[in-house]
Amino acid sequence: MSARGTVGRRTRPVRLGPRAIAALVLISAIGVVAFGWPLLAGADSGLAHSEDAPWLFAALLPLLVGVVVAMIGDSGLDAKAVAMLGVLAAVGAALRPLGAGTAGLEPMFFLMVLSGRVLGPGFGFVLGSVTMFASALLTGGVGPWMPFQMLSMGWFAMGAGLLPGPDRLRGRAELLMLAVYGFVASFAYGTVMNLYGWTVVPPAGSGISFHAGDPLAENLVRFLAYCTATSLGWDLGRAALTLVLTLTVGATLLKALRRATRRAAFEAQVTFDAPGE
C-alpha cells in the first residue's frame, strides 16, 4: 500500500471543490447582508441587530458544517483534519484572553493568519469561526455580537488562505506578505465589527451617530468618524501585535503547521499495489 502526494516537501493548502466554494459564497453573502442591511433600512423599520443575531447564528452553524462536509467530500479529508481543526481552535481560544481588554492586544490573530495560509481559505474560514465561538464560550462573551464576530474572524482567516503563491512562495517574502496582511486585515476586522456595534449602541455625539433612514453617503461619513474616534487606537494595537508576532515567531510556526499537515497526509491518495510491485 502506498500514500501518494505525501512525499513532496511542499505542503499545499486544502483544496476547495465546487461545493465548498458554493457554501463559502453563500455564507459570505448572508454575512454581507447581515452586517449591512441597517444602512439601507428605513427609520421606521423597527429592526435591530440584537433581533437578527439569533437568526444569523442559526443559519451560520449548519452552513459551517456544510463547508466542512463539502471539503471532506471534495478533498478526501478525514478525522485527522477535523482533529487539527479542533486543536488549532482550542489554542486560538486560549490565546485570546491573554490580551483581550488591553489596548486591543489579541495574540490569536497571528495564529489565524498563519493557519489560514497553510491550510487554505475554506479551512481558514471554518477555523476562524469555530475559534471565535470557542473563545466566546471560554470567556463568557456569548451575546448577540457573537455570530458577527464569527463571520468577521472567518473572513480574516480565509483572506490569509487566498493570498498568492500558497505552494511556491517561502522564506522572508512570504513572512513579510503575511505580516502586512495581518496588519491591514486587523484594521479591517475592527472596521467590520464597528459596523455592527455602531448601529446597535451609537455614541452620544450626534455627529458620529448612526441615523436610520438617512442617505447612505451621510451615514458612511459618520461611520468613518465613529471608527476614528472610538476604535482606531484599539485596532492599531491589534494590528501592531499581529505584525510583530508574525515577523518574530511566524517562520517557526509556519514550519510546524506544514510539518503537521504533511504528517496528517491531508488529501493523500491511498492505493493498493499488486503483489510483487
In sequence order, the 6+-apart residues with CB closer than 8 A to the CB of 241 are: 99, 104, 105, 106, 107, 109, 110
- Lookup: cell for 232: 482606531
In sequence order, the 6+-apart residues with CB closer than 8 A to the CB of 202 are: 208, 209, 210, 226
Do the Cβ atoms of 261 and 119 come closer than 8 Å? yes
Do the Cβ atoms of 56 and 147 come closer than 8 Å? yes
Do the Cβ atoms of 129 and 64 come closer than 8 Å? yes
Do the Cβ atoms of 212 and 42 come closer than 8 Å? yes
pLDDT in tens, the chain (277 residues): 444 443 345 566 677 778 888 888 888 888 888 888 777 766 665 555 556 666 667 777 777 777 777 776 666 566 777 788 888 988 988 888 776 556 567 888 999 999 999 988 888 988 998 898 888 887 767 777 888 888 899 999 999 999 998 778 888 999 999 999 999 999 999 999 988 888 776 555 567 878 777 788 888 888 888 888 888 888 998 999 999 999 999 999 999 998 888 766 555 444 444 455 4
User: Global pTM?
Assistant: 0.82
CA distance 183 to 238: 8
CA distance 50 to 249: 39
DSSP string, the chain: -EEETSSSS--PPPPP-HHHHHHHHHHHHHHHHHHHHHHHS-TT----HHHHHHHHHHHHHHHHHHHHHHHHHHH---HHHHHHHHHHHHHHHHHHHHHTTSTT--THHHHHHHHHHHH-HHHHHHHHHHHHHHHHHHHT--STTHHHHHHHHHHHHHHHHTSS-TTT--THHHHHHHHHHHHHHHHHHHHHHHHHHHHHS--S-TTSS--TTS-HHHHHHHHHHHHHHHTHHHHHHHHHHHHHHHHHHHHHHHHHHHHHHHHHTTT-EEE-PPTT-
182 CB burial (10 A radius; 0-12, 13-18, 19+): buried
Phi, psi of 209 (to 5 degrees): -80, 155
Phi, psi of 271 (to 5 degrees): -130, 155
